[in-house]
Amino acid sequence: PPLEAPSEELEGGHRGPTMRSNWVVPGHVLAGDRAGLDEEADLRAVLAAGVTTVVCLQTRQETRAAVDYRRRAAKIQPSVSFLECPIVDQQVAEDDRIEQFVGTLVEHLQQGEILYVHCRGGHGRTGTVCALLLARLYGLGANEALARVQLCHDTRVQPCFVAKGDNLARLRAGDS
């Protein structure tokens, strides 16, 4: 797909179907958080956006107690597929492993797949892998790829986590 020129006005084509998702390459690569798959309505919205392959960057240890969105996704859209490339949160992965994985993502895109790339928050690991994907697809340098991913990320309705309910009240009261 053609790569749009960077612009401060990306919202229309880059805002994702959930509050914490965005298109990195509209209609081809969607990025977001894990919670966007754990909530039924958000999972349905992601799949309704055309996603055919869900890409998880979380480790099994991170997802052990999480909702198994894969079963629900397969019931909603039986043809959905899943890819994994576990990266420890706040860490980096081995260069050769990530380079090979980005190549796998490119192959899926060339086969017409639409990707939803996620980690826990949809920021660090997701942003890094999406920047590497942009660099590979379009021959971009690191700074331009990262800047484009950030511009797209900033179109999210809710780019960061927001404390809810009791958690918010505890934060305001100074409790932990």
What pLDDT does 167 receive? 47
| pLDDT beyond 60 at 145 | yes
Confidence class for position 169, pLDDT limits 50, 70, 90: low
Q: Which amino acid is at 122?
A: G
Determine what percent of the chain is predicted with pLDDT higher than 90. Answer: 58
| pLDDT beyond 50 at 148 | yes
- 11-173 classified as CATH 1.10.357.10: no
Tens of pLDDT, residue by residue over 109-135, are: 999 999 999 998 888 899 999 999 999
